A and B are shown apart, each in its own frame.
Chain A
Amino acid sequence: GQNIDQPTEMTATEGAIVQINCTYQTSGFNGLFWYQQHAGEAPTFLSYNVLDGLEEKGRFSSFLSRSKGYSYLLLKELQMKDSASYLCAVPYGQNFVFGPGTRLSVLP
């Protein structure tokens, strides 16, 4: 089975940097996804890591360590619109198993 854990809530200030962690225990590993979900909207794809290391995409970066079962999403130069839930997810068979999600609040 799959077990994924994330902090429930985080708060940060506009312009700052925030790191959202995700730990996972899986039987088999086929990569890890990060999704952003604004309240009442659908999740949107942010990043995919299958190899160890850092993937950078604009203000967002995602890191993976397969040996530690650990990933993080790094958000730089935070903007108010970054207030959302951030979900890490791992594919498992024909399913995506989502973590509980981290609700990020960006304050002015």
Chain B
Amino acid sequence: DTEVTQTPKHLVMGMTNKKSLKCEQHMGHRAMYWYKQKAKKPPELMFVYSYEKLSINESVPSRFSPECPNSSLLNLHLHALQPEDSALYLCASSQDSPDTGELFFGEGSRLTVL
């Protein structure tokens, strides 16, 4: 199994809603990532979990809250988002740190905030 699975694939939410994005991998990878990608731009790192501990938070607003329940799962909890938060949210995993191997990406969750 070399897949990273993300759900939902599409999400539309209002600015007062609370929703969550989910990500799962069964490759035994110990690092998991959330990236945000706007149209025609490269992915931008939001969070990194290494061995289930948050190791990087790239100054992301608190309306985005990551959670790593176990080594296979990564969630991104969303609350009180703004329309400018509409983007493709990509989950990725790697064996360990990026300099030891490639990132495997999920198909992404396309978020629209109304």
Residues of A with Cβ closer than 8 Å to B?
30-31, 33, 40-45, 48, 87, 89, 91-96, 98-101, 103
Cross-chain contact A91 with B99 (CB below 8 angstroms):
yes
Select from chain A the residue with minimum beta-carbon distance to B102.
Answer: A45
9 contacts between A and B (CB under 8 A): A42-B90, A45-B102, A48-B102, A89-B103, A95-B98, A96-B98, A96-B103, A98-B42, A101-B40
User: Taking the complex as formed, is B67 at the interface, i.e. its CB lies under 8 A from any CB of chain A?
Assistant: no
- Which residues of chain A come closer than 8 Å to B33, judged between CB atoms? 96
Taking the closest CB of chain B, its distance from the CB of A47, in whole angstroms, is: 9
Cross-chain contact A40 with B110 (CB below 8 angstroms):
yes
Q: Report B69-111 CB contacts with A as 1/0, cut-off 8 Å.
A: 0000000000000000000101000000111001111111010
User: Taking the complex as formed, is B21 at the interface, i.e. its CB lies under 8 A from any CB of chain A?
Assistant: no
Contact of A42 among B31, B45, B50, B105 (CB under 8 A): B105
Select from chain A the residue with minimum beta-carbon distance to B90.
Answer: A42
Q: Report B38-61 CB contacts with A as 1/0, cut-off 8 Å.
A: 001111010010100001100000
Tally B residues with Cβ within 8 Å of A.
24
- Which residues of chain A come closer than 8 Å to B98, judged between CB atoms? 30, 91-96
Cross-chain contact B104 with A45 (CB below 8 angstroms):
yes
Select from chain B the residue with minimum beta-carbon distance to A96.
Answer: B98
On whether A103 and B40 interact (CB within 8 A), knowing A94-B50, A95-B98, the answer reads yes
Cross-chain contact A91 with B97 (CB below 8 angstroms):
yes
Taking the closest CB of chain A, its distance from the CB of B82, in whole angstroms, is: 22
On whether A99 and B105 interact (CB within 8 A), knowing A40-B110, A93-B97, A94-B55, the answer reads no
Cross-chain contact B104 with A95 (CB below 8 angstroms):
no
Q: A94-B97, A96-B103 are in contact. List 17 more A-B contacts (CB 8 A).
A: A31-B99, A33-B102, A40-B88, A42-B105, A42-B108, A43-B103, A45-B103, A87-B42, A87-B43, A94-B48, A94-B50, A95-B98, A96-B33, A96-B45, A96-B98, A98-B42, A101-B41
Taking the closest CB of chain B, its distance from the CB of A84, in whole angstroms, is: 12
Contact of B108 among A30, A41, A45, A95 (CB under 8 A): A41
- Which residues of chain B come closer than 8 Å to A42, judged between CB atoms? 90, 105-108
